[in-house]
Amino acid sequence: MNDLTTEQIEIRVWAFVVLTLAAILAVSVFTILMSVMFVDQDMERVAPVDEAFLAIIKDVMMLCIGAIGGLVGRNSVNAAAKLMSKEDEK
């Protein structure tokens, strides 16, 4: 097996997590679009079951967006901190 450094392993795990969350988000958006486009609804109100389903999907989407934002933000802060420390050493 390849000898991977800690940074390489961290990057691969980080990329896997971000891609998995992005895939969950994409599937959620696709599910909402399909459920809204191809199901006949009463024009005045949404069925209670559909309303509960959409609420659950929206919560999952918000969780994924927050997690992706947190992971990307954490990595960006680490990269900026490393860059600043290298500039201070010069």
Count of helices and strands (H, E) across the chain: 2, 0
pTM: 0.57
What angle do helix axes 6-37 and 48-89 make, rounded to 10 degrees?
150
* Residue 73 exposed, middle or buried by CB count within 10 Å (0-12, 13-18, 19+): exposed
Q: SS3 for 1-13, per residue?
A: CCCCCHHHHHHHH
- Write out the chain's pLDDT in tens, 90 residues: 567 787 777 778 878 888 888 888 888 888 877 877 776 766 677 777 777 877 887 888 888 788 878 877 777 777 777 777 776 666
* 69 touches 22 (CB < 8 A): no
